[in-house]
Structure 1
Amino acid sequence: MSDDPTSRRTLGRRHLLAGLVGVGFVGSAVIGGDTIDLGTGSESRLPVEVSTVDATGSTAGRASVPATGTPTVVDCFATWCEPCVRQMDALGAVHDRYADRVAFVSVTNERFGGGLDREALRAWWRDNDGRWALGHDPDGSLLAALGADGLPYLAVTDASGSIAWSHGGVASTETLDRRIASVLS
């Protein structure tokens, strides 16, 4: 950059102009009630196809996440994740309440081998009272599509597959209940 005072003034004006244009875009989106999609949203990458595991409440095969035409609770977990174990109680409680109206799927991105195989995953599922679809996504496509940055990671989608709520960390039964109820109303 030059020491010429006029070049600094021009650069300052450019920054000011860029800022005002940005505020105009954001302001019009807020006032107009629309969302500006900058092409980084995860919803454009959903649904994701995952393998499902034969386990309690789950059959072996493939599943689209979120489920087509049905509100869906998506739980991303790992068997080594202690908070994921704690999350299972709240998931079980809301599953019991909403299983007839909402699809549930828990998906791990752990790779089989090195101590984890299908049988070990089934045992973890059984020991933690899982009773809904159990998915396996070793390449992490679902985590990436959701923009998940840790485990456990939860998302609730509406019937159209749009994410209505997402959360990193353990969520309470009350929070899950409220978020699920909101996509059913």
Structure 2
Amino acid sequence: MNRREFVAAAASVGVLGTGAAVATDRIDLREPSDTATVEPIEIETLDGPGSTAGSMAVPEHGRVTLVSVFATWCRICEDSMPALGQVYDGYGDDVRFLSVSNEAIGGTVTRDDIVDWWERHDGRWPVGVDTDLALTAEFDVGTVPTTLVLGADNEVAWRSTGEKTVEELHSGIHGALGNP
């Protein structure tokens, strides 16, 4: 193989690797969706660790909120729980956390199934269900997991899909809090 063929092959591998990373959501090239203020959406919350049955408005004006949309069948959602838990533990009341399943309740999954999954994966902040898919539609959630950080002004400050590291989650929250 001559030098020109080697350079062409190396460039092709780079392009293919970047394409695969984008396709599998390991790199998120999207900017936060438009900066219009989001009107609060009522999410049904479930009774489980760190969560009480009732409802929660998302977002809450004046407070930074992290929303994680997940599904109980999703392995990447399961793998994401330790990092989310570590970040949750680090922010206390400074940042509001909510994880939301957008699965169809009553078909193959019940509210109890979601609470069981939540307990098994060490969830300890509010968990809810998006039964009417209002949150899913508002934030154009097309894949799970999708993580959103909403600023105190009710605008999407950060959005990403796929499994996130503690550092990535901190970065998204810090931007919304106005920290470097």
TM-score by length of 1: 0.73
Corresponding residue for 1:87?
A: 80
Q: Tell whether 2:129 aligns with 1:162.
A: no
Percent sequence identity is: 40
1:113 to 99, 103, 106: 106
Q: Which has the larger radius of gyration?
A: 1
Q: Structure 1 stretches (4+) deviating beyond 4 angstroms?
A: 40-45
SS in 2 for 1:155: strand
Q: AA paired with 1:136?
A: V
Equivalent residues of 2:83, 2:165 under 8 A apart:
yes
Segment of structure 1 superposing worse, 65-74 or 150-159: 65-74
Pairs aligned (count)? 146
State the 1:45 CA deviation: 4.6
Alpha-carbon distance in structure 2 between the residues aligned to 1:64 and 1:98: 20
Gap change, CA 1:100 and 1:148, over 3 Å in 2: same
Runs of 5+ consecutive residues of structure 1 not aligned to the other structure: 1-39
1:76 to 66, 69, 84: 69
Q: Tell whether 2:55 aligns with 1:62.
A: yes
TM-score by length of 2: 0.75
Corresponding residue for 1:127?
A: 120
Runs of 5+ consecutive residues of structure 2 not aligned to the other structure: 1-32
Alpha-carbon distance in structure 2 between the residues aligned to 1:174 and 1:119: 32
Q: Tell whether 2:40 aligns with 1:47.
A: yes
Q: AA paired with 1:101?
A: D
Equivalent residues of 1:51, 1:62 under 8 A apart:
yes
Equivalent residues of 2:68, 2:99 under 8 A apart:
yes
State the 1:183 CA deviation: 1.9
